[in-house]
Amino acid sequence: MPSLRHLFAEHPTLLLIDAASTRVQVGLWHGGVVSWQIEEAEAGTAVFACTEKLLAGCNLSIAALNAYAFCEGPGSVLGIRTSAVALRTWRVLNPAPAFAYQSLALAAHTHSRPEVNMIADARRDSWHVQQIGKPLRRVPTAELAGECVMPEGFRHWTPLPANLGRTPYDLPALLARPVLLDADLFHPSAEPDAFMHEEPSYVTWIPQVHQAPAN
What CATH number does the domain containing 41 carry? Answer: 3.30.420.40
pLDDT score for 213: 47
Together in a domain, 38 and 50: yes
Residue (of 155, 145, 142, 179) closest to 4 by Cα position: 179
Is 180 inside a domain boundary?
A: yes
pLDDT of residue 1: 85
Predicted TM-score of the model (pTM): 0.90
- Which has the closest alpha carbon to 81: 110, 50, 44? 44
Identify the pLDDT of residue 46.
98
Let me know whether 115 and 27 are in one domain. Answer: no
Q: Provide the domain count of the chain.
A: 2
144 falls within a domain: yes
**Is 137 found in the same domain as 84?**
no
Regarding whether 180 and 122 lie in a shared domain, the answer is no
Task: Please tell me whether residues 88 and 135 are part of one structural domain.
Answer: no
Whole-Å CA distances, 37 to 14, 131, 135: 14, 29, 31
Residue 212 half-sphere exposure, CB side, CA atoms within 13 Å?
2
Task: Give the residue numbers spanning the domain of 46.
Answer: 4-103+169-188
Task: Indicate whether 25 and 93 sit together in one domain.
Answer: yes
Residue 129 shares a structural domain with residue 77: no
Closest CA to 62 of 103, 98, 101: 98
- Tell me which long-range contacts 136-140 makes (C-beta under 8 A, separation of at least 24): 136/74, 136/102, 136/104, 136/105, 136/195, 136/197, 138/197
113 shares its domain with 131 = yes
Give the sign of the dihedral formed by CA 203, CA 207, CA 212, CA 215.
negative
Q: Are 144 and 164 in contact (CB under 8 A)?
A: no
In a domain, 183, yes or no: yes
Instruction: Tell me, yes or no, whether 12 and 88 share the same domain.
Output: yes
Whether the upstream peptide bond of residue 95 has omega within 30° of 0, thus cis, is no
Q: Within the chain, how many helices (H) and strands (E) appear?
A: 6, 11
Residue ranges of the chain with per-residue pLDDT less than 70: 197-215
What is the reported pLDDT for 199?
A: 47
Asked whether residue 52 is domain-assigned, the answer is yes
At residue 208, the pLDDT reads 56
CA nearest to 47, candidates 72, 16, 77, 75 = 16
Strand pairing class (165-167; 187-188): unpaired
How far is Cα 84 from Cα 14, in angstroms, rounded to an integer?
A: 15
Query: Is the residue at 158 inside a domain?
Result: yes
> Could you tell me if 112 and 97 lie in one domain?
no
Residues 75 and 123 in one domain: no
Spatial contact of 53 and 43, defined as CB atoms under 8 Å apart? no
Looking at the structure, do residues 78 and 27 belong to the same domain, yes or no?
Answer: yes
Does residue 33 belong to any structural domain of this protein?
A: yes
Classify the C-alpha dihedral 107-112-114-115 as positive or negative.
Answer: negative
